[in-house]
């Protein structure tokens, strides 16, 4: 989710749109719904919401559940005041259709006050379900978000031990220290409706990221602490 992950997952790796030469393009143009989803996700990572939406809609129209979840993430980038409510409807449909990505996107929406009344118990349940499937990329995001929820201590008791365990699970599937870095950056910058900026917590998790050997975490810690 662009706004989630630094903005659900969600943090997409940025790529230059001019460099996109997706192996999925020909299959997507031929009508393969899964290729259309992968192509949409590529454009989403390139921060081109128009192209991402175009291909995600084509894929979703053919019944791809993950494309529905991606559409919800794209909707969250809209300046529309009702974007969170609209995205929630799309994410609910994605979950109902069986999308692992949808579980994370919906959970991310349920803990943000911009979508209305929060529902932390349901969000945690959705994330725990997604976190079990280590073979799916959504497990990484689910575990990161679970860690953040426990580190934040809103809607659930603050528990740094639980947070650390979830961050470590996520890092084992991605890169050691990355989950802690992501949490530190969110606490540093904040996110309207979910995370209140907290320099102390930011430094805590960036320091842990650095101690885990994540160089970018060290750089962010030094910058924030003024070293």
Residue-wise pLDDT tens digits, 61-116:
999 999 999 999 999 988 787 899 999 999 999 999 999 999 999 999 999 999 99
* Residues facing 195 on adjacent strands: 191
Q: What is the CATH number of domain 1-118?
A: 1.25.40.10
How far apart (Å, rounded) are the C-alpha atoms in residues 144 and 40? 23
Q: What is the mean pLDDT of the chain?
A: 89
Tokens of 169: 């699970």
Cβ atoms of residues 99 and 71 within 8 Å? no
Instruction: Determine phi and psi for 142, rounding to 5 degrees.
Output: -60, -45
Domains in the chain: boundaries:
1-118
How far apart (Å, rounded) are the C-alpha atoms in residues 4 and 171? 18
Residue-wise pLDDT tens digits, 139-165:
999 999 999 999 999 999 999 999 999
Tokens of 40: 């949409």
pLDDT at res. 16: 43
* Residues facing 191 on adjacent strands: 195
User: What is the average pLDDT across 123-145?
Assistant: 93
Is residue 119 helix, strand or coil? coil
Higher pLDDT, 44 or 12: 44
């Amino acid at each position: 989710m662009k706004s989630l992950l630094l903005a659900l997952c969600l943090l997409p790796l940025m790529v230059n749109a001019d460099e996109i030469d997706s192996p999925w393009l020909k299959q997507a143009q031929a009508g393969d719904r899964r290729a259309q989803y992968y192509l949409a996700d590529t454009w989403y990572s390139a921060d081109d919401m128009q192209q991402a939406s175009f291909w995600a809609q084509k894929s979703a129209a053919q019944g791809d559940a993950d494309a529905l979840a991606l559409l919800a993430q794209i909707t969250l980038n809209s300046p529309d005041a009702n974007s969170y409510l609209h995205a929630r409807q799309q994410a609910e449909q994605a979950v109902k259709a069986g999308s692992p990505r949808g579980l994370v996107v919906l959970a991310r929406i349920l803990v943000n006050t911009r979508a209305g009344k929060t529902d932390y118990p349901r969000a945690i349940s959705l994330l725990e379900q997604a976190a079990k499937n280590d073979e799916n990329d959504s497990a990484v995001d689910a575990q990161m978000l679970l860690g953040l929820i426990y580190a934040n201590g809103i809607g659930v008791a603050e528990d740094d031990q639980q947070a650390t365990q979830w961050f470590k699970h996520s890092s084992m599937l991605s890169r050691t220290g990355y989950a802690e870095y992501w949490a530190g950056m969110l606490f540093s910058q904040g996110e309207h409706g979910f995370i209140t900026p907290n320099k102390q917590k930011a430094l805590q998790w960036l320091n842990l990221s650095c101690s885990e050997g994540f160089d970018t975490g060290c750089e962010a810690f030094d910058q924030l602490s003024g070293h």
